[in-house]
Structure 1
């Protein structure tokens, strides 16, 4: 609506100027050119202002932006859209650009939205993002890119954004990520670099995040080797590669010899272990036999003791019986016998 008003006012001025009979033809042409130049430089964000909640992102009051432009999209001319009651641009904390053509983050985005905490470019042809693009937003915590031809990320991308919690770079054709990309990002809680050329992984826990950082450093390190510019440089580069290959072959041969030696030692060790195992088995058999004999011996001793005790008891009974008989027939007290 604001854009239409802007164009209508401009058009009215042009018509009034053209109706001025005192204006020369050259001046009329100049007015027309100014009008079309003004049109060619129009870049407006048409926002649908709503709370945005997505995945682990907190609920932010945000702008879901459509891009209206007839020329350069480096700097925004105006932002239009109907805010919620008691809301304005200063309360906008998230900008979401979906299915648009906006290859860079506008240079003056902070002018309209000074308190951005989250940025997402989805299928909007984002080609490049730099630390300077994000510098105006020191409280940035969330950044996402989906289906954009980014290709690479600078190592210092978030040097002005130490509070980053959540980075989601999905299917954005990443081939390289700068060496110091994570140097000041100590608060991260979520990383997703799935479906990229150099990395395809996601991390949701501190241990997974540290592991993914290591993978990115290993797999996405920028290529620093310059291409040879002359035949001599190319030949020297080739000879260096050949020497490296020969050195690797020598190392491989030495490694194979070491493996053979270790294999022989391992075989000997296995044989010794088997021999020891046989010896242990023999001793186990002997121990079992000895244990059986001990048990049998203990059983015999137990029987002997039981028989002895039984005979002793029987003998005591017989003696007592004979004492009673003698005492009965001889008339002698039993305790005197």
Structure 2
């Protein structure tokens, strides 16, 4: 009986939604000539576990879901409160997500881990307050991030740990920071400013450095093991040559 109650609770917490797209081509910063879905319906996404179950719309000639690389929404009716799940099942090759003028309250690592090739992310003019630890762990190809005009007051510094290809970073008109950088040469100073102004109150640099040292130690161990394997192979090659 208890198990049945839990299953029913989980079922009720998951909602589904259908979306409709106008398919078109567009050009964005860091991305040229992208085939994208422009959301032309107003889905009600008020649950964090909302799953997209169908996508409607007429493709351009010779195009299909496999060709879609961008998802664009400018929600005039502000009905998107969370990032919907399941979009990758229809569009497995997304490299751009742009959701403007919505009411997105929170975002999590699980919202983006299904998009490992993501290069462009804009959540401009939403209601986001906090950017969590390792938010972009699975999005190492991100080049453009825009969180302008949100309500961000806390940013965990580890969100930058996996963004080696970042070129544009925008935090305009937020609570803890009002700044943006469109030049890669200035990213270091902007990230430094974010870490100075937007740290979560319970964040400990000591624990952060401990974790960093642990990762470095593990990396050194792996490198040493790799060197031993290479040296062993070299010796075997020398032996066979003789």
Aligned residues of 2:97 and 2:122 also touching (Cα < 8 A): yes
- Note the 1:37-52 alignment, pairs <5 A: 43-52=17-26
Aligned residues of 2:23 and 2:37 also touching (Cα < 8 A): yes
Once residues 152 and 167 of structure 2 are traced to their aligned partners in structure 1, the CA distance between those partners, rounded to angstroms, is 21
- Select which of 143, 153, 165 maps to 2:131: 153
Tell me which residue corresponds to 2:66: 90
- Which shows bigger deviation, 87-96 or 65-74? 65-74
Q: Structure 1 residues 70, 156: CA separation in 2 closer, same or farther (over 3 Å shift)?
A: closer
Once residues 173 and 58 of structure 1 are traced to their aligned partners in structure 2, the CA distance between those partners, rounded to angstroms, is 30
Once residues 103 and 111 of structure 2 are traced to their aligned partners in structure 1, the CA distance between those partners, rounded to angstroms, is 16
| CA-CA distance at 1:206 after TM superposition | 2.6
SS in 2 for 1:52: strand
Once residues 195 and 160 of structure 1 are traced to their aligned partners in structure 2, the CA distance between those partners, rounded to angstroms, is 27
Tell me which residue corresponds to 1:206: 184
Question: For residues 114-138 of structure 1, what are the alpha-carbon distances to aligned partners after superposition, in whole Å with 9 as ceiling and x for unaligned?
Answer: 1110111101111121111111111
Q: Structure 1 residues 194, 69: CA separation in 2 closer, same or farther (over 3 Å shift)?
A: closer
| CA-CA distance at 1:54 after TM superposition | 3.2
Tell me which residue corresponds to 2:42: 67
- Select which of 80, 97, 105 maps to 2:56: 80
Once residues 143 and 42 of structure 1 are traced to their aligned partners in structure 2, the CA distance between those partners, rounded to angstroms, is 24
Question: Considering only aligned residues, what root-mean-square deviation do their CA atoms show, in Å?
Answer: 1.9
| CA-CA distance at 1:56 after TM superposition | 4.3
Normalized per residue, the structure richer in helix is 1
- Select which of 118, 130, 138 maps to 2:96: 118
Q: Structure 1 residues 82, 128: CA separation in 2 closer, same or farther (over 3 Å shift)?
A: same
Aligned residues of 1:44 and 1:69 also touching (Cα < 8 A): no
Question: For residues 191-242 of structure 1, what are the alpha-carbon distances to aligned partners after superposition, in whole Å with 9 as ceiling and x for unaligned?
Answer: 11111111111112233101000000111111118xxxxxxxxxxxxxxxxx
Paired residues, number: 185
Q: TM-score, normalised by structure 2?
A: 0.72
Once residues 46 and 107 of structure 1 are traced to their aligned partners in structure 2, the CA distance between those partners, rounded to angstroms, is 15
Larger Cα Rg: Structure 1 or Structure 2? 1
Once residues 170 and 66 of structure 2 are traced to their aligned partners in structure 1, the CA distance between those partners, rounded to angstroms, is 29
Once residues 203 and 70 of structure 1 are traced to their aligned partners in structure 2, the CA distance between those partners, rounded to angstroms, is 31
| CA-CA distance at 1:109 after TM superposition | 1.1
Once residues 42 and 188 of structure 1 are traced to their aligned partners in structure 2, the CA distance between those partners, rounded to angstroms, is 33
Q: Structure 1 residues 217, 70: CA separation in 2 closer, same or farther (over 3 Å shift)?
A: closer
- Note the 1:221-240 alignment, pairs <5 A: 221-224=199-202
Q: Structure 1 residues 93, 201: CA separation in 2 closer, same or farther (over 3 Å shift)?
A: same
Q: Structure 1 residues 70, 124: CA separation in 2 closer, same or farther (over 3 Å shift)?
A: closer
| CA-CA distance at 1:44 after TM superposition | 1.2
Once residues 149 and 84 of structure 1 are traced to their aligned partners in structure 2, the CA distance between those partners, rounded to angstroms, is 34
Q: Structure 1 residues 70, 56: CA separation in 2 closer, same or farther (over 3 Å shift)?
A: closer
SS in 2 for 1:76: strand
Once residues 70 and 56 of structure 1 are traced to their aligned partners in structure 2, the CA distance between those partners, rounded to angstroms, is 29
| CA-CA distance at 1:111 after TM superposition | 1.0
Normalized per residue, the structure richer in strand is 2
| CA-CA distance at 1:67 after TM superposition | 3.0
Question: For residues 277-316 of structure 1, what are the alpha-carbon distances to aligned partners after superposition, in whole Å with 9 as ceiling and x for unaligned?
Answer: xxxxxxxxxxxxxxxxxxxxxxxxxxxxxxxxxxxxxxxx
Question: For residues 70-108 of structure 1, what are the alpha-carbon distances to aligned partners after superposition, in whole Å with 9 as ceiling and x for unaligned?
Answer: 986701121101100111111111101111412222221
Tell me which residue corresponds to 2:218: none
